[in-house]
Amino acid sequence: MIPRNNGFDLTVIRQAVYTSHTLKTDAVINPLDKLPPILKKNLDRNLCVCNEVPKMDIINAIVNGATTVAEIKKQTYATMGSGCCTQQVERLIECLCAPEREE
Ligand code: FES
């Protein structure tokens, strides 16, 4: 006789569905999703041309905990030239450190 559940352990299946649902709601958000489209461009290009620091290095520093221009400066050397990239660094901090929106 073939069991009604085709031999699958429904407890395991329910747990897997529950787990995948849990993972979906607890999923790690891609930090780049917080950036407006214009800031997602040229990630490998130097945002700080004075010290040749790619935008992605600055984003990584922010994602790893830097929340001020001083911390970015210490970790990446960006903004240490003429300071002409400071506003762009501030904008990245503003976007990436913004609180998550509830949906
Ligand atoms: S471009 Fe970063 S300090 Fe000049």
The model's pLDDT over 24-33, given as tens digits with 9 standing for 90+, comes to 445 667 889 9
CA distance 84 to 77: 13
How far, in Å, CA of 95 to CA of 55, rounded? 14
Contacts 24+ apart (CB under 8 A), 34-37: 34/95, 34/96, 34/98, 35/92, 35/95, 35/96, 36/95
Backbone angles phi, psi at 53, to 5 degrees: -110, 115
CATH 1.10.10.1100 fits 29-96, yes or no: yes
The model carries a pTM of 0.71
Atom 1 of ligand 1, nearest CA residue: 48
Is residue 69 within 8 Å of residue 90, measured between CB atoms?
A: yes
Each residue's pLDDT tens digit, 14-68: 443 344 444 444 566 788 999 999 999 999 999 999 999 999 999 999 999 999 9
> For a substitution probing ligand 1, which of 52, 85, 92 has the most ligand atoms within 8 Å of its CB?
85
Per-residue pLDDT, 29: 77
Ligand 1 atom with minimal separation from the 53 CA: 2
Q: From the CA of 77, how far away is ligand 1's center (Å)? A: 9
**Which ligand 1 atom is at minimum distance from the Cα of 47?**
1
